[in-house]
Amino acid sequence: MALDHRKKDILKVIVDDYIETAEPVGSKYLVSKYHLPVSSATVRNTMSELEQQGYLEQPHTSSGRVPSDKGYREYVENLMQVEWLPPEEARGIRMALTEQVNEISTLLRRASGVLSETTGYLSVALPPQAQSSQLLQVKLLMIEPGRALIVVVLSAGQVKDRIVRIPDLLSAEDLLKISQAIEANLAGMKLKDITFVAVQSAMQATSLPESLLNQIMYEAYTAIKQSDNLDSYLNGMPNLFAHPEFQDISRARNVVDKLSQEGLLFGLLDRQWESERTSGQLTPQPSDLPENQADQKRGPTTPGEADCKPCRYMIRIGQELQSEGLEDCSFVTTTYTLPGKLMGFIGVLGPMRMNYSRVISHISFVRQTMDDLIARSARLNRDSQHKEQ
């Protein structure tokens, strides 16, 4: 069932061209534009076979062919060439990401912004799955009697705060006691391992009257548990409208609708999360990790950029997204890593006809740069900690 050489060549050229022009491609046009060493009739026969095998579709009789989901899948797995980023562009991206970044949230905002700008599609960046983060600190600050600010600091520099109601009688000292007790008992635990009972028993160590504690216990627990509810960064919505597949307003609306739904992106990425953990196959097709095509090995253009190679990424095409309204879209995602086996996601969403090669090289580079920055910052901290001792 594998495709012979000619079929591969022709399929590749068809997808390349369709990505470029958004027009169904025909046999004669193909031969003349790409100087194929065969006649249009031969191409026609090949196309016909590719169609029978499900790699191509015909919008209507007597029109050119268009890649099917399966065709794109074959293309991204075996046919396309991922180009390296031109060094100027790489330098620009690196600078944009490096400047003035103290927090992971700033880095994510930048990453998303850069991706949408350089690819011309929609991009999204999600903070690490905080459920696996460790709790580092919990602080309770009195705002005014009856209201306190609870600040939860997680590993990898994630911070979440929220205001909670507390019993009027609690003093600033009580709050200090409570937060110290929580920290003493829960610091270092993973968020997902923290239970209500754990919070309860931690707080009982404060020897404060139980009646007071009862009122704040639940607030503290939910504040801690929900601190994974961090912000996602989405950029480039207007970019989508530039592509011909979204000229039809109803499609555009479907997509915007979907993307506005809180939680949808998390859902999509959870699936990747799953498949990363089990490092197994994806449901629709074994799609992950096409990281080692032979034709990709030609080196980078500058030695300085040598440390960026295409990395683990996942591509979901059309139906594979299993999301009504996104049938015409593809989603390329990858994960960045933080110390402590934490992972977060960045992704680019565009029409199925997106320039996969371009997107992959950009997202790879952004991911690599993020990993570098994070690692460097972690190293700096380790060093300075070392120095202190």
Task: Provide, rounded to whole angstroms, the least separation between the CB of residue 110 and its own copies.
Answer: 13
Residue 40 touching DNA (CB under 7 A):
yes
Residue 369's nearest CA partner among 296, 273, 305, 292 is: 305
d(CA 102, CA 35): 53
Residue 65 touching DNA (CB under 7 A):
yes
- Of the pair 136, 198, the CB lying nearest its own copies is at 136
Out of 47, 213, 223, 374, point to the residue binding DNA (CB under 7 A): 47
Residue 24 touching DNA (CB under 7 A):
yes
Pair 272, 345: CB distance under 8 Å: yes
3-state SS of the chain: helix, strand, coil percent to 5? 55, 15, 30
Residue 35 touching DNA (CB under 7 A):
no
Residue 149 touching its own copies (CB under 8 A):
yes
Residue 118's nearest CA partner among 381, 369, 359 is: 359
Provide the Cα torsion 373, 378, 382, 387; round to 10°. Answer: 40
Task: Provide, rounded to whole angstroms, the least separation between the CB of residue 329 and its own copies.
Answer: 15
Residue 157 touching its own copies (CB under 8 A):
yes
Out of 23, 83, 168, 193, point to the residue binding its own copies (CB under 8 A): 168
Residues 102-141 that bind DNA (CB under 7 A): none
- Of the pair 41, 143, the CB lying nearest DNA is at 41
Residue 187 touching its own copies (CB under 8 A):
no
| 3-class DSSP state of 308 | coil
Task: Provide, rounded to whole angstroms, the least separation between the CB of residue 291 and DNA.
Answer: 33
Residue 242 touching its own copies (CB under 8 A):
yes
- Of the pair 67, 325, the CB lying nearest its own copies is at 325
What φ, ψ does residue 206 adopt, rounded to 5°? -80, -15
| 3-class DSSP state of 144 | strand
Buried b (16+ CB within 10 A) or exposed e, 45-69: ebbebbeebebbeeeeeeebbbbbb
- Of the pair 44, 309, the CB lying nearest DNA is at 44
Task: Provide, rounded to whole angstroms, the least separation between the CB of residue 335 and its own copies.
Answer: 22
d(CA 193, CA 134): 9
Residue 211 touching DNA (CB under 7 A):
no
Task: Provide, rounded to whole angstroms, the least separation between the CB of residue 254 and its own copies.
Answer: 9
| 3-class DSSP state of 351 | strand
Pair 22, 244: CB distance under 8 Å: yes
What DSSP line would sit under 208-254, residue for residue? --HHHHHHHHHHHHHHHHGGG-PPPEEE-HHHHTTSGGG-SHHHHHH
- How many other CB atoms are there within 10 angstroms of residue 184's CB atom? 10
- Of the pair 146, 280, the CB lying nearest its own copies is at 146
Residues 77-116 that bind its own copies (CB under 8 A): 102-103
What DSSP line would sit under 60-111, residue for residue? STTS-BEE-HHHHHHIIIII--PPPPPHHHHHHHHHHHHTT--SHHHHHHHH
- Of the pair 33, 253, the CB lying nearest its own copies is at 253
Please choose which of DNA, its own copies, none residue 363 contacts, taking the beta carbon within 5 to 8 angstroms, the exact cut-off set by kind. none
Residue 1 touching its own copies (CB under 8 A):
no
Interface residues toward its own copies, by CB under 8 A: 102-103, 136-137, 139, 141, 143-147, 149, 151, 153, 157, 159, 161-165, 168-169, 235, 237-238, 241-242, 246-247, 249, 252-253, 256-257, 260, 380-381, 384-385, 387-388
Interface residues toward DNA, by CB under 7 A: 6, 24-29, 37-42, 44-45, 47-48, 51, 58, 60-65
